[in-house]
Chains A and B, each alone.
Chain A
Amino acid sequence: MRSKTIVKEELPAKELLKSICSIAENVLKDIERRKNPGFEVPNRGAGNFFYDEKSDVIYLGSKKSSRTFHSVATTTAFTQMLFVLSVLQETAEKKKHLTKREIYYQDPELFNKDQDASDNLIEDIAVTMGVTRPCLRVVATAKGVCIGDLTLREGKDKFNCSGLGRGGWSVSPFIDEVDIVDCGADYVLVVEKDAALIRLVEEDFHKKNKCLLITGKGQPDIATRRLIRRLNKEWKLPVYVLTDSDSYGMQICSSYKRGSISLSFESAYLAVPSARFLGLLPSDLDKFKVPKAARLEMTEWDIKKAQTMLEYPWIKNNKRWYSELKLMIDRREKAELQALAKHGITFMTDVYIPTKLESGDWI
């Protein structure tokens, strides 16, 4: 029986240092005893996730692989990992934060001039130590935006996200150090892309409907997902997601809701299982009479991706998700949110979203 790996959400700098030191000491001990020093790293690949049906969340599985010094295949990975640990140690000692890119630039040569290598190692270390990445004091640049009646405090700054102009608040990479002081919204509306957000802001949708508008600009970063989870957990705000009607959009919605396979070890800390997929559902295309001319034919890649998703247990076992995805595949049609604009540019804000919310037409 597979089991899930649970990670810690918080780790003070002192404990982090202790933890890193003990790893390094074990390595040294192995070297002194003429053993093969190594790390046991949980796999983060497609083969090692644990889908918890009850909570509808994707967790990390229990498979591990070892990276040892004396096996040529893993020597580089071992050395790099040890090096990253030393960088993390230094950062923690100084009580600073580092971005992934800064870690990479400590020694690009060692990472074979490939930032993906160092980025992955950071996730590997987090998962090996059983903590979330922010615990390691590594921040990823956040790209999300939030607009609406939300009062926040970060350090000495206190501000409301509705008063920052039409650009809204850029989600802070140090999201866990941001306090949510007050919230005047009734729900969160997450949109996949910037374009849809601009339309909603233009129409003052957040003001008219007392909601927070958030976008992760495509595949969401951790800070944005963490913000949404905190709003959902700490302020009990319902979360609705609007994406394009294609496999990519559904995948994004799913990762907001259940977490993703590659970051499955952080699901517990990021996922919003109660999030609702509002649209654009494949069945909406007919329901809202989206003209044929505004629909696009799915590419081979789209179909392949959709068919793979169909096999995921969280879709296969979810009748409505399954039937919507199946419908998409059968029709071989996709459409962007902007397709609704064929009925007039305010159709989405004036008709589509309110209708869906009122009738509870989400999945």
Chain B
Amino acid sequence: MEQLLLTDIAGKQKISRRKAEDEIHKHIRLQSAEELLKRVDTGFGQKARAPFQAVAEGVQNSTDAIDKAREALLKSTGSDDYDARIEVSISVVDRSRDELQLTIQDNGIGIPRSKVQIIVRAGGTGTIEYKASRSQQGVGWTAAAIYASQSTGKPLEIISKTFSEKQAHRHVYDYGKGKVTKLAEETYESEFLKHGTGMSINMIGDYSRARANILEFIKRMAAIHPYISFVLKENGTAIEYPKRSGAGIPIPKPVPPHPNSVDIGQLKDMLALQSRIRSISLAGFLKRNFCRIGEKGVKDLLERSSILLYFDERNLFAGDIIKRVAQSSKVQELKNDPSKLVAYLKTLVHEVEIDYEYAAQLVSKGKFNSNLNIRALDNEELKKFFKLSGDALPKNIFTEKTTVNMILSDDNKVRLLAETLRSMSFPSPPVDSLMPVPDETFVEGFVTIYKPEKYTYVKRNPTSTKGRPVQVQVLAMYGGEIPDNLKDHDKLIRVANCTPLLYEFGSDIITQTARDIDWSIYKLGKKGELPVLPVIFVVHVTSPQLKYLGVAKQAVGADDVIADEIKLALQAASRKLRQHVSLMERSEQFSKAREFLEKHAEVVALTLSKMLKVKKDKVYDLLAAEIRKRRPVVGEMK
């Protein structure tokens, strides 16, 4: 069989079937993350954008490193204030081929010598903690290094030192040939910072075209981070945004994942991780690895899992049935007519007999709105709804004594546990993992740079989406030094986890939400586009593991809850602004009216003085005072 030769019509040399198959399968091999990165859009596709992307990635890492240094400082000394500084140096090495050298140096926490080899790998710096951070995927800088290597063949140089390390260390890594190769690792003898990291790459890029966005990025970073000095050195010439305040962004605390947000794969990884350490009981595992699960949660979960198993065994899609009832508009119509409702429910749910009277009761109590799913019903309600008596339930598949290893050894159990976690209602996740910019910092940072005549600020309360907390802050700035002819890009400053976004403007959920607002209500413009008045909105979205549209992290991905929060915040800020806009309009009208009235007051005063032999000036002054009182202009109002 293996030796079977194929007849080739063209008469070319024939090879064995095995060889042919081998050739076909040759490309199948383990692909490194670095290789994969070459195939996705990391923002390095265009020469005009690549320098920006590299600066953005590097500065985000540096800012995170500074926040980590602050955290270490806070934990060891009680204060987190120090002279944090990030320096970006860009110099043109070879003008003929647009080769640049980019160095980004910070006095952040530094990378321990032994961890550098992990950091340099794609995903190496990515946080696996559930807290908001700027560089959450850990691929950005690696993508920059890969691009640099591809475009110039030159390696990445890292010099770093942590506070506790005695000496700085230098590392050189090459990203050619689809893998990461260490070229050098040595003690760095020259003088270096007490702690921090410097990274340097050579890349091809059109700096003159990327420059505007780089400047804007650093300017906005400086606005958000007044506790860090930002320096941009271009061929030796420095632009500096000095540190303006000691108040940093609160350091987010890691919060374990919310039980509603995990899928099977994630759960399996967590179980495996726990198993490697020690196989503990299910209750211990849940309480340790998830937020918002307590004693009661565990108890409910044990019963819940057997209810779900019961449904499984009968091929009953309980969740679908509940959704069907919740989303039926006919059901809502009949809400207040129990007998008709019961009759209708019988036709709506016919594959299984449920407790129609009880279902009708829940509906008329208003429990069933269109967003309802199985989570809204607790175990007792669920059992009653589906007419389950205790005897009918299968024996609890999970008990107090079930261990991590027992679950891990049975894929069905893993699946059932994941489904059960997702089918239950837990309190919203805690918000400590967010990194909102402190109100004063947010306002002052932008207002001192953009100098508007009026601003309004709105901070939404944290909420959650898909198990992750999310919070939105909006600053609206109007008039003053804000020009009339702003381009759309400049009307909306997008910030995600304290990082300004500059590309992929149109596809961002922030932009799309803003375009969807009817600005005419606020006298700022119209629906379907951004405001036409001289107004800039700064929108900050913070959330751990925020979903971006791509690896380049320049656009926040679509999410209904986030969109709603952005919309409400933009509207609230606009409402406040509208009062000011109306005030300005009225003030303008008033000052025109004043001029008009004062002109007439002169005639009236003159006429009355002639008619009644009174002093003209006295009459005029009285009238003029009253004119001003009745039509106050800005500056005279309380």
Residue ranges of A at the interface with B (Cβ–Cβ < 8 Å): 20-21, 24-25, 27-28, 31-32, 34, 37, 69-70, 72, 75-76, 78-79, 82-83, 85-86, 89, 110
A69, B611: Cβ atoms under 8 Å?
no
Known: A21-B611, A24-B612, A82-B604. A31 touches B596 (CB 8 A): no
Over the window 613-634 of chain B, the binary record of Cβ atoms lying under 8 Å from chain A Cβ atoms (1 yes, 0 no) is: 0100001001101110110000
B520 on the interface (CB 8 Å rule)?
Answer: no
Q: Which of B604, B614, B629 contacts A69 (CB 8 A)?
A: B604
B608, A24: Cβ atoms under 8 Å?
yes
Which residues of B lie under 8 Å from residue A24 when comparing CB positions? Answer: 608, 611-612
Q: A89 vs B609: C-alpha distance in the bound complex, in angstroms?
A: 13
Known: A72-B597, A75-B597, A75-B600. A28 touches B614 (CB 8 A): yes
B622, A32: Cβ atoms under 8 Å?
yes
Q: A79 vs B629: C-alpha distance in the bound complex, in angstroms?
A: 20
Q: Which of A31, A72, A86, A89 contacts B619 (CB 8 A)?
A: A31
Q: Which of A76, A85, A86 contacts B600 (CB 8 A)?
A: A76
A70, B626: Cβ atoms under 8 Å?
yes
Q: A70 vs B629: C-alpha distance in the bound complex, in angstroms?
A: 11
Which residues of B lie under 8 Å from residue A79 when comparing CB positions? Answer: 600, 603-604, 607
| Contacts A69-B597, A79-B600, A83-B603 supplied; 13 other A-B pairs, CB < 8 Å | A24-B611, A28-B608, A28-B614, A32-B622, A34-B622, A69-B600, A70-B626, A70-B630, A75-B597, A75-B600, A82-B604, A82-B607, A86-B610
B183 on the interface (CB 8 Å rule)?
Answer: no
In the complex, what's the smallest C-beta–C-beta distance from B591 to chain A, in angstroms? 12
Which residues of B lie under 8 Å from residue A85 when comparing CB positions? Answer: 607, 611
B593 on the interface (CB 8 Å rule)?
Answer: yes
Residue of A nearest to B590 (CB): A72
In the complex, what's the smallest C-beta–C-beta distance from A129 to chain B, in angstroms? 15
Q: A20 vs B611: C-alpha distance in the bound complex, in angstroms?
A: 9
Which residues of A lie under 8 Å from residue B614 when comparing CB positions? Answer: 28
Known: A75-B596, A75-B597. A86 touches B607 (CB 8 A): yes
A21, B612: Cβ atoms under 8 Å?
yes
B623, A28: Cβ atoms under 8 Å?
no
Which residues of A lie under 8 Å from residue B597 when comparing CB positions? Answer: 69-70, 72, 75
Which residues of A lie under 8 Å from residue B623 when comparing CB positions? Answer: 31, 69
In the complex, what's the smallest C-beta–C-beta distance from A2 to chain B, in angstroms? 34
Q: A269 vs B426: C-alpha distance in the bound complex, in angstroms?
A: 91
Question: Interface size of B by Cβ–Cβ distance < 8 Å?
Answer: 21
Q: A236 vs B507: C-alpha distance in the bound complex, in angstroms?
A: 93
Which residues of A lie under 8 Å from residue B607 when comparing CB positions? Answer: 79, 82-83, 85-86
Residue of A nearest to B610 (CB): A86
- Which of B596, B607, B612, B626: most chain A Cβ within 10 A? B607
Known: A70-B626, A72-B596. A27 touches B608 (CB 8 A): yes
Residue of B nearest to A69 (CB): B604
Residue of A nearest to B630 (CB): A70
Which residues of A lie under 8 Å from residue B593 when comparing CB positions? Answer: 72
Known: A75-B597, A110-B603. A82 touches B626 (CB 8 A): no
Q: A76 vs B626: C-alpha distance in the bound complex, in angstroms?
A: 17
24 CB contacts below 8 A, A to B, read A24-B612, A28-B612, A31-B608, A31-B619, A31-B622, A31-B626, A34-B622, A34-B629, A37-B604, A69-B597, A69-B600, A69-B604, A69-B623, A70-B597, A72-B593, A75-B600, A79-B600, A79-B603, A79-B604, A82-B604, A82-B608, A83-B603, A86-B607, A86-B610
Which residues of A lie under 8 Å from residue B611 when comparing CB positions? Answer: 20-21, 24, 85-86, 89
Which residues of A lie under 8 Å from residue B604 when comparing CB positions? Answer: 27, 37, 69, 78-79, 82
In the complex, what's the smallest C-beta–C-beta distance from B379 to chain A, in angstroms? 71
Q: A27 vs B623: C-alpha distance in the bound complex, in angstroms?
A: 11
Smallest CB-CB A-B distances: 3 pairs? A24-B611, A79-B600, A86-B607
In the complex, what's the smallest C-beta–C-beta distance from A93 to chain B, in angstroms? 10
Residue of B nearest to A24 (CB): B611
Q: A76 vs B603: C-alpha distance in the bound complex, in angstroms?
A: 10
In the complex, what's the smallest C-beta–C-beta distance from B633 to chain A, in angstroms? 15
Q: A72 vs B586: C-alpha distance in the bound complex, in angstroms?
A: 14
Q: A21 vs B610: C-alpha distance in the bound complex, in angstroms?
A: 11
Which residues of B lie under 8 Å from residue A76 when comparing CB positions? Answer: 600
In the complex, what's the smallest C-beta–C-beta distance from A252 to chain B, in angstroms? 38
Residue of B nearest to A90 (CB): B610
Q: A82 vs B602: C-alpha distance in the bound complex, in angstroms?
A: 12
A34, B596: Cβ atoms under 8 Å?
no
Which chain B residues in 575-613 approach chain A with CB under 8 Å?
A: 593, 596-597, 600-601, 603-604, 607-608, 610-612
Q: A85 vs B610: C-alpha distance in the bound complex, in angstroms?
A: 11
Known: A72-B593, A83-B607, A89-B611. A28 touches B619 (CB 8 A): yes
In the complex, what's the smallest C-beta–C-beta distance from A210 to chain B, in angstroms? 52
In the complex, what's the smallest C-beta–C-beta distance from A332 to chain B, in angstroms? 50
Which residues of A lie under 8 Å from residue B625 when comparing CB positions? Answer: 34
Q: A210 vs B607: C-alpha distance in the bound complex, in angstroms?
A: 53
Which residues of B lie under 8 Å from residue A37 when comparing CB positions? Answer: 604
In the complex, what's the smallest C-beta–C-beta distance from A24 to chain B, in angstroms? 4
Which residues of A lie under 8 Å from residue B619 when comparing CB positions? Answer: 28, 31
Q: A83 vs B614: C-alpha distance in the bound complex, in angstroms?
A: 15
- Which of A24, A31, A82: most chain B Cβ within 10 A? A31
Which residues of A lie under 8 Å from residue B629 when comparing CB positions? Answer: 34
Which chain B residues in 428-476 approach chain A with CB under 8 Å?
A: none
Q: A89 vs B611: C-alpha distance in the bound complex, in angstroms?
A: 8
In the complex, what's the smallest C-beta–C-beta distance from A44 to chain B, in angstroms? 23
Q: A20 vs B608: C-alpha distance in the bound complex, in angstroms?
A: 11
Q: A219 vs B518: C-alpha distance in the bound complex, in angstroms?
A: 57
In the complex, what's the smallest C-beta–C-beta distance from B56 to chain A, in angstroms? 55
B627, A70: Cβ atoms under 8 Å?
yes
Which chain B residues in 161-217 approach chain A with CB under 8 Å?
A: none
Which residues of B lie under 8 Å from residue A70 when comparing CB positions? Answer: 597, 626-627, 630
Q: A176 vs B604: C-alpha distance in the bound complex, in angstroms?
A: 33
In the complex, what's the smallest C-beta–C-beta distance from B519 to chain A, in angstroms? 29
Q: A82 vs B623: C-alpha distance in the bound complex, in angstroms?
A: 15
Residue of B nearest to A82 (CB): B607
Which residues of B lie under 8 Å from residue A69 when comparing CB positions? Answer: 597, 600-601, 604, 623
In the complex, what's the smallest C-beta–C-beta distance from B589 to chain A, in angstroms? 9
Q: A69 vs B593: C-alpha distance in the bound complex, in angstroms?
A: 12
Q: Which of B600, B603, B612 contacts A25 (CB 8 A)?
A: B612
In the complex, what's the smallest C-beta–C-beta distance from A162 to chain B, in angstroms? 47
In the complex, what's the smallest C-beta–C-beta distance from B542 to chain A, in angstroms? 50
In the complex, what's the smallest C-beta–C-beta distance from B102 to chain A, in angstroms? 63
Which chain B residues in 546-594 approach chain A with CB under 8 Å?
A: 593
- Which of B593, B603, B610: most chain A Cβ within 10 A? B603
Which residues of B lie under 8 Å from residue A86 when comparing CB positions? Answer: 607, 610-611
Q: A69 vs B601: C-alpha distance in the bound complex, in angstroms?
A: 8
Q: A66 vs B611: C-alpha distance in the bound complex, in angstroms?
A: 22
Residue of B nearest to A23 (CB): B611
In the complex, what's the smallest C-beta–C-beta distance from A16 to chain B, in angstroms? 13
In the complex, what's the smallest C-beta–C-beta distance from B296 to chain A, in angstroms? 69
Which residues of B lie under 8 Å from residue A21 when comparing CB positions? Answer: 611-612
Known: A24-B612, A28-B614, A70-B597. A34 touches B603 (CB 8 A): no
- Which of B596, B597, B625, B627: most chain A Cβ within 10 A? B597
Residue of B nearest to A80 (CB): B603
- Which of A32, A69, A85, A110: most chain B Cβ within 10 A? A69
Q: A27 vs B610: C-alpha distance in the bound complex, in angstroms?
A: 13
Q: A20 vs B597: C-alpha distance in the bound complex, in angstroms?
A: 24
Q: A312 vs B102: C-alpha distance in the bound complex, in angstroms?
A: 91
Q: A288 vs B597: C-alpha distance in the bound complex, in angstroms?
A: 64
Residue of A nearest to B594 (CB): A72
Which chain B residues in 524-555 approach chain A with CB under 8 Å?
A: none
Which residues of B lie under 8 Å from residue A32 when comparing CB positions? Answer: 622
In the complex, what's the smallest C-beta–C-beta distance from B587 to chain A, in angstroms? 15
Which residues of A lie under 8 Å from residue B596 when comparing CB positions? Answer: 72, 75
- Which of B593, B623, B625, B626: most chain A Cβ within 10 A? B626
Residue of B nearest to A75 (CB): B600
Q: A76 vs B623: C-alpha distance in the bound complex, in angstroms?
A: 15
